[in-house]
Amino acid sequence: MSDDLRDGILSLNTRQFGTVIELMVQLLKDYKNSENLEFDLYDPHTNEKIEVKSSRAYKKQTLKLSLDTLYEIIINNSNRKRLLKQKQALESDFNCNIQQVKIAYFDKLYYVLLFYDVIEIFMIYAKDIKKDTMIGYSDKQHRGNYGEGQFHITQKNYQHHKDNYFIQSMTYADIKAILLKRKNRKA
């Protein structure tokens, strides 16, 4: 089973989670590390600058956090209970936030959604992020942050992303096999 891999990825802190997804895209697409803080990866074949963002596909929390709901929210907050299965994406209220997007610094954005059962990879060119109004890109993420924005993938626009920017789906077993093969080759 690949539950251990899925659970391990999903339990990483924010910085490690982002780095793991960057490394997965680097491995899958044969990109190089950018060695630059402005963007994540570099395509040596096309000279394109690549940015990678990711989000866990959690069911929306319906309870308001209060002293009366505190216990229930904590008990029901595990990755296994909150993470959507991919087939639920069109039926369930969820919100994946793709944030800290600085479109002036990269050519391509890979954004990765992690569901309970699969990982989905999407790609959009930086020049198209603002043009496609269905994406809902907002260049106002934090007060005073100029040139940095975000967009949300929800039940309402998920199909649009699938139809226009989806490039690959992988199970956790697929990822585990790739990583084990690489590990064994290096040993």
| Adjacent-strand bridge partners of 120 | 113, 169
Q: What is the pLDDT of residue 187?
A: 61
172-186 vs 14-29: helix axis angle to the nearest 10?
A: 80
SS3 annotation, 49-86: EEEEEEEECEECCCCCCCCCCHHHHHHCCCHHHHECCH
Cβ atoms of 129 and 101 closer than 8 Å = yes
Tokens for 59, please give them: 């069911």
Q: What is the pLDDT of residue 141?
A: 63
Q: How far apart are CA 5 and CA 26, in angstroms?
A: 18
What does pLDDT average to in each consecutive run of 10 residues of the chain (187 residues)?
Answer: 85 91 94 90 96 92 86 79 88 91 95 96 96 90 72 95 97 92 78
